[in-house]
Amino acid sequence: MTISLCDDNANERAYIKNLVLDWASQSGALVSVREYPSAEALLFDCPERCPEILLLDIEMPGMNGVELAKKLRHESKPVQIIFITGYPDFISEGYDVEALHYLLKPVTPEKLFEVLDRAAVKISQSERKILVPFDGGEVALPLREIRYIEASRQYSVIFSSSGEYRLKVPISELETRLDGYFLRVQRSFIVNLREVLRITRTEVILRSGEAVPISRGMQGQIGKRIIELF
């Protein structure tokens, strides 16, 4: 999951980042952590790199944390917002932006870990899914579980952690139902970039060990997209 830290104090960012990495190590979560020294810097990266969890300082020069949160909500960003502040006076404003929690400085590992656990559960419950046929019915498959998709004539085959699903849907139509972590790497293949372990000139190697062929010249484009996302 993507977690962003927004605080104008570099020492505070470093401290919180270390705690987040400790939490990820203990919980087994795979996280990508980004740091921003201002609300404006984070906003500049959205929507392409909006985080799933935002640890947000309130008192910052320029746009403050509450103003940033309101703007994200106005743009319908489903980020889990956790305010970090030394001033309890702002707590009432959190209701307007549906903040998950307020943490008062100095932040303790126990408090932060507890809130991150809650945020992770909310993300897992609200993550995007796609309906696929299964045993005569349909199952809601989380996009995160998909490794890659292959076109097979008029069908598309989804390869996921829970099995393979064959849909009578063109891959071009299926592509429109996916999120920004998926990339068409070749005419017949779409890859979940979360799963990419290594890129060569002719294929991407996934964490599962599977190799997916890519079009000529796609190696650089895939690497650039991964850097932008993670």
Predicted confidence at residue 41, as pLDDT, reads 95
pLDDT in tens, 113-170: 999 999 998 887 777 788 887 767 788 888 888 999 999 888 999 999 888 999 988 9
Model confidence at 90: pLDDT above 80:
no
Model confidence at 211: pLDDT above 80:
yes
Model confidence at 8: pLDDT above 90:
yes
Q: Give me the amino acid identity at 122.
A: K
Give the pLDDT band (50/70/90) at residue 48. Answer: low
Measured CA distances, 177 to 58, 161, 173, 174 (Å) = 35, 19, 7, 5
Predicted confidence at residue 127, as pLDDT, reads 74
Residue 203 and residue 207: Cα distance in Å, rounded?
A: 13
pTM metric for this prediction: 0.62
Predicted confidence at residue 137, as pLDDT, reads 75
Tell me the three state secondary structure of residue 168.
Answer: coil
Measured CA distances, 57 to 37, 81, 144, 178, 189 (Å) = 10, 10, 29, 32, 41
Give the pLDDT band (50/70/90) at residue 18. Answer: very high
Q: Give me the amino acid identity at 139.
A: V
Tokens in use for 207?
């964490």
Predicted confidence at residue 138, as pLDDT, reads 81
Tokens in use for 132?
């696929």
Mean pLDDT of the chain: 89
Tokens in use for 71?
């703007």
Predicted confidence at residue 92, as pLDDT, reads 59
Across the range 24-31, mean pLDDT stands at: 91
Predicted confidence at residue 111, as pLDDT, reads 95
Query: Domains of the chain, with CATH numbers?
Result: 2-126 (3.40.50.2300), 129-229 (2.40.50.1020)
β-strands 53-57, 32-36 pairing: unpaired
Percent of the chain at pLDDT above 70?
93
Residue 41 and residue 92: Cα distance in Å, rounded?
A: 25
Tokens in use for 1?
């999951």
Across the range 56-81, mean pLDDT stands at: 88
Give the pLDDT band (50/70/90) at residue 76. Answer: low
Question: Nearest Cα to 37, choosing from 68, 70, 60?
Answer: 60
Residue 60 and residue 8: Cα distance in Å, rounded?
A: 6
